[in-house]
Each structure stands twice: as structure tokens, then as C-alpha cells.
Structure 1
Amino acid sequence: MSRNPTRFDITRALFVGATAGLAASFVMNVFQEAVEHFGPDDGGDDSGAEPATVQAAEGLASMVGADLPKAFRPAAGSAIHYAFGAMLGAGYAVMAEYEPRAAAGAGAGFGVTTAIVMDEAAVPAAGLSDAPWTFPLGTHAYALVSHLVFGMTVDAVRRGLYRAMLRVRF
């Protein structure tokens, strides 16, 4: 059952969703670092290429006529990762305001969709990674589980923030 949210509902959803997206980006990073300790096939790209987030940061810098110093590349890549997580979280929360069924599955559907759209389509289409069929199945599974962690964390934090706001009559 969809509804017609007010401007306040949308503004609140943007704030809550962006906050949830930041938290979920952090949890996703922690998850990925933990998985790296389980073996050599961590789903990473062994080609020596910069991570997609770093490549995106370099692309943004060059668009404004700047050169991204090598020392700043990891931080710039993290900034891209967190900014994108906040944006995705905000979008998810607004979507859930309009159509509460979008939040069914505790964010799992959102996580799977994010993995498919971003890792399998948008990132390769932008030239930030090789084509999906060039990666082993384990890499796809790693990305899918990482994005499930992201999506489910966004949903859990979003719901928790809404509950907290109700308690303080925000």
C-alpha cells in the first residue's frame, strides 16, 4: 500500500537514509576486512588496478582540472565509498516512504539490487572495472554478500533511527 508522504516525511527520510547509508558503508568495510582474513581468494581484483572508488575520485579530480596526489587516493576512494553509500541509503529511505513494501526483506532486496546494478552493470559500464564475466564466481558471491550486508544494515539502522525519533517525538 503506497502513500503520499509530506515534505517533512521526505526530508526526514533523506536524513535518516543518508545516516543509515554511512553506517552501512562502515559495516560493509568491516565485513570486507574480516573476510580478507579467511584466505587468498577474498573476491578482490588481483589485476593491480586501483579500486573503482579511487578511480572515480581520480576522474572527479580530473573533471575539475586537478590532479589527485597519490597520498590522498585511499582517502579520496573512501570518501567516494561513503558518499555513495549515503546517497543510496537516502534513496532507499525515500523509496520506503512512498512504498513501504520496498523495505520488505529487511533490506535484502535492496542489497541484491545494489550488487547487481552497481557491481555487475554500472561500475563496468563506467570503465571502473572489467566486464563481469571476466571475474570468477567467488568474486561475484563476495560482492553479493557484501551488498547484502550493506542493504540489511541500511534497513536496520533506518528502522532504529525511526524508532528513536518516535521516542523523542522528533
Structure 2
Amino acid sequence: MRSTHVSQNNSKSSIGQGIIADVVKGALAGLLGTLAMDAVNSLIFRRHGPRTLLREQSARIMRKPATLGGISNRLNGAFGVEMMPKRSAGFATHYTVNVLPAIGYGLLRKRVGFIGKGKGLIYGLAAFALLDEGLAPLLKISSGPRAYPVQTHLRGLASHLVMGLVTDQTLDLLDRGADKIASKGEQVDIAIGQDNRFVETQNLGSPANDEPGIDAMDSLGDDLGDDLGDDQGIDYPGSPTMI
């Protein structure tokens, strides 16, 4: 009963450790994925023509990027005064919004089969559709989809697909690294167990425990008892032939 209780506790502990590890890996993968997304977004943005840039700029809330302008707009509505947070606040919000879904993706992709399909491309597409095109306008963080030129939407789609791909590939690399470490740990445990069993076997078969000298004396006593018993009809305690 005690062993069953201990095994259940060990199982719960290993599950908890696995979840924590997946959260950490998801956060790291999400950070790298967001960096890749920003790099692609910036690269494509520089290739837009003047008309596209002008229309996108006019569509932005307070003429700022979505996270920074959206935060300012929400603060202004809440406090009734014009407030412009530091640029660092916009970056912090941007990375938080993109890292949190990556943590969820890291937790679910191995536990819910279809979520991990597409090597992260489906995840990137879902993030683009739900966050950029859906949630951001709904929360008044950005203008509606029609306010932006088509090029802006295509740029957002491409950068989010890259984000999903990098996030998924990073998770794969981290999983493989963790599996190798776990495999080496199991090999060490097996080797230690084999060494322990070898030592126990040697101890059980050692002369100190078997005491062959005492066994030889007992056998000699039995033989003498048998001979005397046959000659005199006397049973001796050491003889196995007592009838």
C-alpha cells in the first residue's frame, strides 16, 4: 500500500515537472519566434512603397504601432487625459502578447494531436487571424482590418507564419535536447543498478559468509555418527538417518 502511494506521488511530481519544463520551453520558443517575426516584418516594411506606408500610417491609432498606440488609446479612455507610455511599454506588451500563446502552444502540441500539425504554420496562421485580425480591433488596440492596405495584411501573415515555424522548430530542438539528457540519466541509473547487483552477488558468495570450514566439520561429524550408530545401534543428533 505504501509503495503504491509513493509511486502515485512520484508520478504526480514528474507530471508537474514536465508541465513546468514545457512552460519554460514555450516561453523561450515564443521569444525567439517573436524576434524572427519582427525581423521579417521590418524587412518587408522597408520594401513598401510610399502610398502603402502613408495609408498604413493614417490607419494607425495615434499614428503609433498597434501595441503602443493601443495602450495609449486605452489609457486616455480610462483616465480622460492624454497619456503616452514609454516605448518600452509597447515592446513589453508586444512580447507578452506573443509569448503567452507560445507557452500555451508548447503545453498543448504534444497533448492535443491536431495542435502540433503543420510544423507551426497552423499556429502562426491562427495567431494572425485571432490576434491581429480579430482581437486587436475588438479591443481597440488597432483599427479595423479594412483601414489597412492589403500589403499590411500580407506582411502580417508572412511574419506570423515565420513566427509559428520558428516557435515550433525551437520547441523540437529543446525537446530533443531534454530527451538526450533524460536518456543519459537513465543509462547512468542502469549502470549504477548493475554495479550494485554485482557487489551484492559478490558479497553473498564470499567465503566469509559461506564458512566452508564449519560445513566440513559438520559433514565429518555426520559421517562419524553414522559409523558409530551402525556399530552400536545408537542414534546421534548429527545423523540424518534416525528411524
| Match in the other structure for 1:51 | 65
| Match in the other structure for 1:18 | 27
Contact 1:54–1:74 (8 Å) recurs in 2? yes
Contact 2:26–2:102 (8 Å) recurs in 1? yes
Q: CA deviation at 1:75?
A: 1.6
- Identify the match of residue 99 of structure 2 among 86, 100, 124: 86
| Match in the other structure for 2:16 | 7
Amino acid at match of 1:46: Q
- Determine the C-alpha separation between the residues in 2 that align with 1:15 and 1:73: 28
Distance 1:77 1:165, change over 3 A: same
Deviations 1:74-133 (A, max 9, x none): 221111111222211101111113213311110000010111001111000001112112
Whose Rg is larger? 2
Secondary structure class of the residue paired with 2:141 = coil
Higher relative contact order (CA 8 A, sep 6+): 1
More helix by share: 2
Question: Cα RMSD over matched residues?
Answer: 2.9
Contact 1:43–1:139 (8 Å) recurs in 2? no
Amino acid at match of 1:50: K
Contact 1:10–1:97 (8 Å) recurs in 2? no
Q: CA deviation at 1:18?
A: 0.9
Q: Does 1:36 align with 2:51?
A: no
Q: CA deviation at 1:141?
A: 1.2
Distance 1:94 1:82, change over 3 A: same
Distance 1:165 1:50, change over 3 A: same
The within-5 A match list for 1:1-170 is 6-40=15-49, 41=52, 45-47=56-58, 49-58=63-72, 70=84, 73-169=86-182
Secondary structure class of the residue paired with 2:108 = helix
| Aligned sequence identity (%) | 23
Distance 1:90 1:130, change over 3 A: same
Name stretches of at least 5 consecutive residues in structure 2 with no aligned partner: 1-13, 186-243
Moved over 6 A (4+): 59-65
